[in-house]
Amino acid sequence: MVQRLTYRRRLSYRTESNKVRVVKTPGGKLVYQYVGKKGQIPRCNECGTEINGIKAMRPLELKNAPKCQRTVARAYGGAKCHTCVRTRIIRAFLIEEQKTAKLVYKKQQKDKKAAK
């Protein structure tokens, strides 16, 4: 005969938050063991891809985890993926280059006018 099992908490419905596994205790009894929900892997807030290097955790686990597990060691660590950070850096560099090129061009034009 199979041993009957009952939930250990108050919630008596088979919902997403009430998932259980059957586990045999050292005493030989079968009991329900509650299985927690899976967390989500953080996503890039610009392109939406998953951020590498950060585990999928529930909010409470994430809060209690050490900082090295919550973020990635770079600019915009846990918020943007590596490709978005790279494009931002390149864009900023090119904007600065454009500004300096504009100044140089203006100086050359001024020198040309002065020579005439």
Which residue ranges of the chain lie beneath pLDDT 50? Answer: none
Q: Determine the residue type at 62.
A: L
3 state DSSP class of 101: helix
The tokens for 69 are 């597990």
Residue-level pLDDT at 7: 96
Predicted structure pTM score: 0.70
15: Cα within 13 Å, side-chain hemisphere: 7
Residue-level pLDDT at 10: 95
The tokens for 56 are 């999928």
Q: Residue 84 and residue 108: Cα distance in Å, rounded?
A: 36
Residue-level pLDDT at 116: 77
Q: Residue 55 and residue 85: Cα distance in Å, rounded?
A: 20
Give the residues across from 45 on adjacent strands: none
Q: Do 22 and 32 meet the contact criterion of CB atoms below 8 Å apart?
A: yes
